[in-house]
DNA sequence: GGCATGACTCCCA
DNA sequence: CTGGGAGCCATGC
């Protein structure tokens, strides 16, 4: 469990219903712009044990792209339930992208 | 340590 | 808009 991971988890948990964030966006806010893939990995391994709204995390194109086909359908359903319009596994990022207020204090810095 | 892999992203045709 | 190629980085063998 690295600091990067903690921030990623915190950021994801801060995403309100009906909004989404991209992997790169989260990685950047967590302190590593190149960590998009790591964010994806974190979701894959942590989503089961933690209460993470992983369905609100999508790629830079606004598409739902997951290794598991079932997971893709699940994510689509969850987003639709929250009022996010999903067309062919794609959404309008310009309408649903969430810009979090980063105001937590990194005490160890 | 090297090599392959991936729920990514950016850039260009 | 779609497709191909290169870059990045943690993880696992």
Burial of A11 (0-12, 13-18, 19+ CB in 10 A): buried
- Does residue A62 approach strand C to less than 7 Å at its CB? no
Residue with tokens 């964030």: A21
Q: Which nucleotides of C are covered by protein (CB under 7 A)?
A: 7-11
Other Cβ atoms less than 10 A from the Cβ of A68: the count is 10
pLDDT band at A101 (very low <50, low <70, confident <90, very high): confident
Assessment of whether the complete model's pTM goes beyond 0.75: yes
Q: Is the CB of A35 under 7 A from strand C?
A: yes
For all residues of chain A together, what is the average pLDDT?
88
Closest residue to C11 measured CA to C1′: A41
What does the angle CA A11 – CA A17 – CA A51 come to, to the nearest 5 degrees? 55
- A4 pLDDT higher than 80: yes
Q: Provide the CA A57 to C1' B11 distance, Å, integer.
A: 23
């Amino acid at each position: 469990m690295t600091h990067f991971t903690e921030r990623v988890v915190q950021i994801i948990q801060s995403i309100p219903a009906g909004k989404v964030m991209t992997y790169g966006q989260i990685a950047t806010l967590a302190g590593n712009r190149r960590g998009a893939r790591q964010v994806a990995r974190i979701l894959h391994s942590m989503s089961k044990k933690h209460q993470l709204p992983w369905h609100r995390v999508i790629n830079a194109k606004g598409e739902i792209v997951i290794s598991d086909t079932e997971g893709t359908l699940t994510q689509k359903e969850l987003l639709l339930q929250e009022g996010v319009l999903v067309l062919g596994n794609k959404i309008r990022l310009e309408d649903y992208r969430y810009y979090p207020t980063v105001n937590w204090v990194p005490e160890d810095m």
